[in-house]
Chains A and B, each alone.
Chain A
Amino acid sequence: KNQVEQSPQSLIILEGKNCTLQCNYTVSPFSNLRWYKQDTGRGPVSLTIMTFSENTKSNGRYTATLDADTKQSSLHITASQLSDSASYICVVSAGYQKVTFGTGTKLQVIP
């Protein structure tokens, strides 16, 4: 069964600090992995996409990594800002149209 598990479930950090969110998946065959950010009361917005051959991809202060051998991905946020407070969802695509959503990590950045 295709599954995507994220950790931690929730996280509180001080503004300016770094943090790393984890995503483990058992989806097969692997097509791509995306990280989405969902602000409270809004729809998810894509941050990055990782394909099989990519190890690292950055989008501003967000850096995603992918280890296709261990089926793990991480999202690293550098110098966190209050606006980073949101839920972060890992989404893995398994070929044509099969998309599995993770349960999300709720991040709260406090002053």
Chain B
Amino acid sequence: DTAVSQTPKYLVTQMGNDKSIKCEQNLGHDTMYWYKQDSKKFLKIMFSYNNKELIINETVPNRFSPKSPDKAHLNLHINSLELGDSAVYFCASSLGRSGELFFGEGSRLTVL
């Protein structure tokens, strides 16, 4: 019974394509996040939503657009994929804005 689940786990696509990654949490948390982990394993926050409202939007190209249909879901859509977008994307959730982060298993995106 996975707490934070994201799909797909692996995604291989060509440059210029548009793709989406979905995330769902069943923990009853009110805050959800998207993180990007690069090849050096550094985790960097991209977006944060609290009760469906965008509260953090770091310096991320506007090709990346998050969407939160409800508190339990936060999806990430990426337009016009570039080689530099290749990374592992982690979804996370927390109770409150400074609570413990619960991460999903990650989605490895490879852009060819």
- A contacts, CB < 8 Å to B: 31-32, 34, 36, 38, 41-46, 49, 87, 89, 91, 93, 95-97, 99, 101, 103-104, 106
Closest to B56 in A: A97
Chain A residues, CB < 8 A from B48: 97
CB atoms of B44 and A101 under 8 A apart? yes
**What CA separation (Å) do A31 and B102 show in the bound complex?**
18
Q: Which of B56-89 contact A (CB under 8 A)?
A: 56
B15 beta carbon closer than 8 Å to chain A: no
Between A and B, 23 residue pairs with Cβ closer than 8 Å are: A31-B98, A34-B100, A36-B101, A38-B41, A41-B105, A41-B106, A42-B106, A43-B92, A43-B103, A43-B104, A43-B105, A46-B100, A49-B100, A87-B41, A89-B43, A91-B101, A93-B98, A95-B98, A96-B97, A97-B55, A99-B101, A101-B42, A104-B42
In the complex with contacts A97-B48, A97-B55, A97-B56, A46-B40 CB distance below 8 A: no
Given contact pairs A41-B106, A43-B90, A43-B103, A101 touches B56 in the complex (Cβ within 8 A): no
